[in-house]
Structure 1
């Protein structure tokens, strides 16, 4: 307890190299000193698995946004190899930025990682949450309302986050005077999250009311109230979920589509070194040149219907409902017991 609950900045600096406190080492010390050898390894494996899962999901999402939403705007005819390389480079850049961000993390929130993580989420996540809820439960939500609501609330959140990084709180237990602006010292980041959610909701609702609503024929099976509609939503041109045009070659039959990589070089004309270089590049980028698939328009429509279907068997409904109730009760019991 002397290490984790240290109150003197000098002692905390000696224990964990952090004057603000040693709460970051509480869980690792508990695992190392209280658990037996077998459970230590199991806990380490679970922590690493959770860490890898979180990192891969974030990095994959970021690389997808970069390749599909940003890079494609500048390179509309980019090949699959180019997109895969852009995605890999994006991941490497994000990893480098995360390493360079560590000194800032050490300074903000007194080096307390949990508070830092929750504060950053409070500045950025509430608008996204309100966007999802409005789009799910309010059919009148429009694209313009969501876009400008996200833009305004993101600016507000980034400004607050910048102020937090600029005006640092004095170390806990020190006699230093808190000179931060009252908007930071008096408004906790959790309270700011509520304020930011209200701002984003108001902006999205007001702009949505003054813009053209989405036709009902395009809302089938997209919201909570239309989730059980039998009709498929009508897609606009930019919402067509067919495969990217750079991967599609149309044959004689306009109703069929063949998915393959546009490669202008014939594999038989390549030298041994060129084939080896191409194979290595495809292995690094995760490209399978032999993977081709021909689908008709009806098959694509049926594939999309199955992917977006909410149909479940009676057996699966019972299993999911029972599991959800059990997990909810277990969570409440654990929270009450350990609180």
Structure 2
């Protein structure tokens, strides 16, 4: 395994210089809260799409996807083929968000339902960001530093903390200074860095292995574990559970989550927002090949004795591949000097991109959905300053939570992340879908669905954690709940949440027609319909068809690639 050369460090340093220039320029252009949180609503489709892609593909994705590729094959590809949901974001959800003029998703819920729904979603989102997304992302980044720079700071453990804390501090600094404009434009550069660096890993790894046919041959020796569709008896990824849970989690993440939707709200106009979402969907198609497949390639190289992978103790006490260290190991083992620095820059880009987005989204949620409701007469300067303070608080909380991560991510970082999201997403997805398509859904139903769904999800997560720690072995019932597959649990949580929303809505007065104008599909004004129609062009339809076609082709190919 090689370490970074002088050339590698020079490339990494150049990357940070470019970031500093972008932040400096962005900081000179923000004067209002709209500038700080939504970049003045003046971003074009290319930057919107690139930012959507880069913010989704963080260090936890690169590390976690490659790790799952090495240990579980193509099972997690379903989540990486959510490009079709980005098309849905652009065509179905964005028109409502953009026309409403909101800064945040909780703010939209208040317009559609009531202030209580806004508060609940704000609090749930902040808790989720700080204790899952921020900490998981930093943890993954620290693991990368521990592998790439094992001896630079005395030990891999020291490299973990020095790298993680330094990157968090720098990311927090440039987000606080530059606001959302810096986030979006650095995202655009980082997306390109990620694509180039990871593509080199895939290409060089395949060349060393002997080509695509050799990869298929190695994977075919354990076809059931490495196929796209697992048997319904599979403990981790039963095909029916995947079909049920993946869209529920995906709609929440891509179509209703502040972390993602904020990028489309920063667009110049509705047309640019839609095209940015479609372009982001096009970019989203490729992670299967440049992030997931490298893990499979690493596993195949390991099986042929061409690379050494990090190992860990499995549940039965035997030594198994430590999937979360696979990608970084491939970087240091396969790439020559120069390219190694480029990919390290890409990993830093991924970490900083995700963190910067999280910091700004949390600041937006706290400032606009909580602080401004308490202090409605605050000046624009005050709102921006509060946003900066909130960002700093999020940085501190995320860092303080890092030591807890090794105790709860032993089952694989990406699977852990999806399971947590599977317990958070169902009530939010249910409320947004029902709220947009059915005028009879009211604030009472939304509040009940969000509250009960969230509490049930957290109850399942708590029981699962306690069972995993061996603390509830005396209760067969609780053990069964804790061990129940998270994919099926996601489906049940969605069904229960939807039923609660409908029942509570039907047993209370319907919202007035005036309060629903332009907030549901059945209450659009003539002007809104005309604006939406006029903003659609041939390029929107062609781009959407290309994205959907690519998703279909990839699904078809990998459904039969080991047969």
TM-score (norm 2): 0.40
Task: Write the deviation string for residues 5-56 of structure 1: whole angstroms up to 9, x where unpaired.
Answer: 65567786xxxxxxx9612112222333234555544444444434333333
Instruction: Give the structure 1 partner of residue 489 of structure 2.
Output: 192
Residues 24 and 112, structure 1, Cα contact 8 Å, conserved in 2: yes
Among 18, 23, 33, the alignment partner of 2:323 is 23
Distance 2:558 2:409 in 1: 26
Distance 1:331 1:42 in 2: 28
Task: Write the deviation string for residues 103-160 of structure 1: whole angstroms up to 9, x where unpaired.
Answer: 2221114263223211211121111111121122222221221112101111122222
Instruction: Give the structure 2 partner of residue 312 of structure 1.
Output: 535
1:203 aligns with 2:503: no
Residues 363 and 387, structure 2, Cα contact 8 Å, conserved in 1: yes
Q: What are the equivalent positions in structure 2 for 1:60-71 lying under 5 Å apart?
A: 60-71=360-371
Distance 1:224 1:79 in 2: 35
Among 334, 355, 362, the alignment partner of 1:55 is 355
Distance 2:556 2:310 in 1: 27
Residues 309 and 322, structure 2, Cα contact 8 Å, conserved in 1: yes
Residues 441 and 510, structure 2, Cα contact 8 Å, conserved in 1: yes
Instruction: Give the structure 2 partner of residue 230 of structure 1.
Output: 526
Which 5+ residue runs of structure 1 have no aligned equivalent?
Answer: 13-19, 171-175, 234-304
Instruction: Give the structure 2 partner of residue 321 of structure 1.
Output: 544
**Which is further off, 317-326 or 176-185?**
176-185
Instruction: Give the structure 2 partner of residue 160 of structure 1.
Output: 460
Task: Write the deviation string for residues 68-88 of structure 1: whole angstroms up to 9, x where unpaired.
Answer: 121123222222222222211
Distance 1:39 1:326 in 2: 33
Give the structure, 1 or 2, with the largest relative contact order (CA under 8 Å, sep 6 or more): 2
Deviation, 1:213, is 2.0
Deviation, 1:66, is 1.0
Change (3 A) 1:197 1:178: same
Residues 139 and 223, structure 1, Cα contact 8 Å, conserved in 2: yes
Computing the radius of gyration from Cα coordinates, the structure with the larger value is 1
Distance 2:359 2:516 in 1: 31
Q: Secondary structure at the match of 1:110?
A: coil
Q: What are the equivalent positions in structure 2 for 1:207-222 lying under 5 Å apart?
A: 207-222=504-519
Instruction: Give the structure 1 partner of residue 421 of structure 2.
Output: 121
Structure with the larger helix share:
2
Q: Secondary structure at the match of 1:162?
A: helix
Instruction: Give the structure 2 partner of residue 295 of structure 1.
Output: none
Residues 324 and 412, structure 2, Cα contact 8 Å, conserved in 1: yes
1:91 aligns with 2:391: yes
1:140 aligns with 2:363: no
Deviation, 1:204, is 0.5
Deviation, 1:95, is 1.6
Change (3 A) 1:64 1:310: farther
Task: Write the deviation string for residues 198-231 of structure 1: whole angstroms up to 9, x where unpaired.
Answer: 121111010111222233444444334555x414
Which 5+ residue runs of structure 2 have no aligned equivalent?
Answer: 1-301, 303-307
Q: What are the equivalent positions in structure 2 for 1:70-85 lying under 5 Å apart?
A: 70-85=370-385
